[in-house]
């Protein structure tokens, strides 16, 4: 099932090894290879020189070891006849009177190709130049193995012949640490996944540096990077090896092994080809980077591997975060929230400084968005060392306003030391109904939007009176769904929340309440967070409570934010978004419910583009923004038919 949606399952395996004991090493390699294949792996990576082990030293000059290694490699090759997965295994190989440190790619009983190491270290920790030649010293780019002539060079791109049609390449250990790693060139030549069989010893602090290096290289290559390093079975004569395995994709760590285990282990992960391909298509620097290498294109050989795979498990070896806009770990929370608040407040501070305006005006409803906008405005004033006297707030109770939201708005301003004015709009809206011939009783779209536009008129005119900038409160999720009144709450003079989706709005306010606010302010913020999301444009119930719940009408914001992230950030089709949503929200939303609200998302997203075409300025805070001036150019008349048909 997961392969249908362009996932590739990779495995990084750390076998038990012992220097020189090829038979034992091969036994553990085959055991892990079988286990990986049984769990649906497409490609299994083993560490550098894993057939012999890496720390054999001068034993690499012994014919007995080299012959034994070839025999062991043949056993592994034969074992792959009944295994669907590709195997990448490290072995020393003789060629042209030179010894090479190589990675051999095996599949279905055949050798697909051999990749020799390019950068051979010769330092205090590694003396490989004592035994091994570089790929740059190769005289002939093929080798005879087990009666087959196979490619032998670093410039090999392996491509699957199934519907996914993905490509991968190999570099070995030190290659990654070079100034221009071979993986950079491999990626520009089409490799979407890089495999690195390695033997990197453990030093204090080295693992974190190694991890950063791999994550960064995956980001630089706009692809996936799979890494497997030798385990504790290596010689401990002068160094220790920890068995570090990692999988990274597009600059993010996806999986990591435990280090220093005394037995074998495997980590699995599913690489999303669609995300890689989307980023490459949309990154002009990547496509332009290919041109300087055009003269080297002919040096690359492309090898096809015919995959015969079956989904042996429905489990997806990939965490799908139900809230992709929200920081995933508490460790990142403070840093990320402070950064977002700084982006928002710096944008506003710059706009105030540029215009010479020192006053701001906000319509404060007691809801999430206007609360965050006020907190951002306060932060901007701190940056500019301005007195809060320049912050003006107006609460405008109307036909649907509840006492809870009105009281929270006034209490928040009181505790922050900010003046707030109350302007009741009920009489003016009723007069407007009379003027245009509306009965004032029918709770239709006119009934709702008249209130929103009346509030905007009050804000704009009051701002003129006070020489103030009207701060917009609408968020990214509302702009995506068009859940705003055209020329009503859609309009402002600077929209500080326009790059912040609803799930992140809640998260930021929660952070502010728990980490930065005084007790009294924190208490108010927490009550605002507990208040149902509502535009409060329809009359309250008989007990004065909110009757109009936004999510009852348009669907859960957490689902819409999920849809927005994968539809806009990666351009995924509806069926794949449904597949991911089912994994992310397992047990919370049914397939039927996900499809229902995804249909609503597409219908609203397409039909409401005309509102986004006229949004005011506002700061982008994440990878997704819908400003028509920079990030999202979409015709207002575009049809969603292809997307709805895919549903």
**pLDDT 10s digits, 84-101:** 999 999 999 999 999 999
Domain containing 392 equals 330-554
pLDDT level of residue 537 (50, 70, 90 thresholds): confident
Least confident of 254-263, 286-295, 309-318, 538-547: 286-295
Query: Is residue 276 located within the same domain as residue 401?
Result: no
**Cβ-count burial 308-329 (b if 16+ within 10 Å, e if not):** ebeeeeeebbbebebbbbbbee
Query: Is the alpha carbon torsion for 348, 351, 355, 361 positive or negative?
Result: negative
Task: Report yes or no on 254 lying in a domain.
Answer: yes
Task: Report yes or no on 644 lying in a domain.
Answer: no
Query: Is residue 271 located within the same domain as residue 206?
Result: yes
Query: Is residue 215 located within the same domain as residue 141?
Result: yes
| Boundary (domain end) residue, out of 502, 537, 554 | 554
Alpha helices in 534-590 (DSSP H): 550-554, 557-564, 574-584
Query: Is residue 454 located within the same domain as residue 490?
Result: yes
**What mean pLDDT is predicted for residues 141-150?**
95
Least confident of 16-25, 183-192, 266-275, 528-537: 528-537
**C-alpha to C-alpha distances, 44 to 29, 171, 245, 275, 334, nearest whole angstrom:** 10, 15, 12, 21, 38
Query: Is residue 278 located within the same domain as residue 339?
Result: no
Task: Report yes or no on 109 lying in a domain.
Answer: yes
When the pLDDT of each residue in the chain is averaged and rounded to a whole number, the result is 95
Does pTM top 0.95 for this prediction?
A: no
Query: Is residue 373 located within the same domain as residue 253?
Result: no
Task: Report yes or no on 623 lying in a domain.
Answer: no
pLDDT for 544: 74
pLDDT at residue 294 tops 60: no
The number of folded domains in the chain is 2
Query: Is residue 294 located within the same domain as residue 343?
Result: no
Query: Is residue 365 located within the same domain as residue 249?
Result: no
Task: Report yes or no on 643 lying in a domain.
Answer: no
- How many other CB atoms are found less than 10 A from the CB of residue 188? 22
| Boundary (domain end) residue, out of 512, 536, 554 | 554
Question: The CATH number of the domain where 449 resides is what?
Answer: 3.40.50.620
pLDDT for 328: 76
Q: What is the DSSP string of 109-158?
A: TEEEEEEE-S----SSS--GGGT-B-GGG-SSSEEEETTEEEEBSS-EEE
In this structure, are residues 578 and 591 in contact, taking their beta carbons and an 8 Å threshold? yes
Question: The CATH number of the domain where 158 resides is what?
Answer: 3.60.110.10
Query: Is residue 228 located within the same domain as residue 342?
Result: no
pLDDT for 315: 84
Query: Is residue 339 located within the same domain as residue 270?
Result: no
Query: Is residue 300 located within the same domain as residue 342?
Result: no
Query: Is residue 254 located within the same domain as residue 388?
Result: no
Q: Which residues are catalytic?
A: 48, 117, 173
């Amino acid at each position: 099932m997961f392969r249908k949606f362009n996932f590739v399952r990779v495995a990084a395996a750390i076998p038990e090894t012992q220097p020189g004991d090829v038979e034992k090493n091969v036994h553990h390699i085959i055991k892990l290879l079988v286990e990986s294949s049984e769990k649906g792996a497409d490609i299994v990576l083993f560490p550098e020189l894993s057939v012999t082990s890496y720390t054999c030293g001068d034993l690499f000059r012994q014919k007995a070891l080299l012959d034994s290694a070839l025999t062991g490699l043949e056993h592994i090759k034969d074992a792959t006849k009944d295994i669907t997965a590709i195997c990448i295994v490290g072995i020393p190989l003789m060629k042209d009177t030179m010894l090479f440190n190589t990675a051999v790619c095996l599949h279905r009983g055949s050798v697909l190709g051999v990749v020799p190491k390019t950068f051979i270290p010769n330092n205090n920790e590694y003396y490989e130049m004592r035994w091994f030649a570089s790929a740059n010293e190769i005289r002939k780019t093929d080798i005879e193995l087990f009666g087959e002539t196979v490619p032998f060079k670093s410039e090999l791109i392996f491509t699957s012949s199934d519907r996914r049609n993905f490509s991968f390449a190999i570099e070995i250990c030190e290659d990654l640490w070079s100034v221009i790693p071979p993986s950079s060139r491999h990626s520009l030549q089409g490799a979407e996944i890089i495999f690195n069989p390695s033997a990197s010893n453990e030093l204090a602090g080295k693992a974190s540096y190694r991890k950063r290096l791999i994550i960064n290289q995956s980001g630089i290559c706009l692809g996936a990077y799979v890494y497997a390093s030798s385990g504790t079975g290596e010689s401990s004569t002068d160094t220790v090896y920890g068995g570090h395995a990692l999988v990274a994709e597009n600059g993010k760590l996806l999986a990591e092994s435990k280090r220093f285990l005394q037995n074998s282990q495997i980590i699995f992960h599913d690489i999303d080809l669609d995300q890689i391909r989307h980023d490459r298509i949309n990154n002009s620097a990547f496509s332009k980077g290919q041109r300087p290498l055009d003269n080297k294109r002919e040096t690359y050989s492309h090898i096809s591997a015919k995959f015969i795979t079956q989904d042996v498990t429905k489990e997806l070896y990939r965490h799908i975060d139900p809230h992709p806009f929200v920081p995933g770990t508490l460790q990142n929370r403070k840093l990320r929230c402070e950064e977002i608040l700084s982006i928002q407040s710096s944008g506003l501070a710059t706009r105030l400084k540029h215009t010479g305006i020192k006053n701001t005006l906000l319509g404060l409803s007691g809801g999430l968005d206007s609360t965050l906008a006020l907190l951002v405005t306060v932060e901007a004033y701190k940056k500019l060392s301005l007195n809060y006297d320049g912050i003006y707030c107006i609460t405008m109770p109307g036909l649907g306003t509840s006492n809870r939201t009105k009281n929270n708005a006034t209490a928040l301003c009181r505790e922050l030391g900010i003046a707030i004015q109350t302007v009741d709009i009920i009489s003016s809206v009723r007069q407007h109904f009379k003027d245009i011939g509306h009965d004032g009783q029918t709770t239709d779209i006119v009934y709702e939007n008249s209130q929103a536009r009346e509030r905007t008129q009050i804000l704009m005119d009051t701002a003129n009176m006070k020489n103030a900038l009207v701060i917009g409160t609408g968020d990214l999720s509302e702009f995506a769904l068009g859940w705003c009144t055209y020329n009503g709450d859609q309009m402002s003079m600077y929209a500080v929340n326009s790059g912040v989706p609803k799930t992140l709005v809640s998260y930021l306010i929660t952070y502010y309440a728990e980490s930065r606010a005084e007790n009294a302010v924190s208490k108010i913020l927490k009550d605002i967070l507990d208040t149902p999301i509502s535009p409060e444009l329809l009359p309250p119930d008989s007990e004065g409570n909110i009757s109009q719940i936004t999510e009852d009408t348009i669907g859960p914001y957490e689902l819409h934010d999920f849809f927005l992230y994968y539809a806009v950030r990666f351009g995924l089709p509806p069926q794949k978004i449904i597949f991911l949503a089912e994994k992310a929200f397992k047990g919370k939303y049914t397939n039927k419910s996900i499809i229902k609200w995804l249909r609503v998302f597409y219908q609203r997203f397409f039909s409401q583009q005309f509102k986004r075409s006229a949004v005011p300025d506002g700061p982008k805070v994440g990878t997704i923004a819908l400003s028509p001036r920079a990030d999202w150019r979409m015709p207002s008349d575009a049809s969603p038919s292809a997307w709805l048909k895919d549903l």
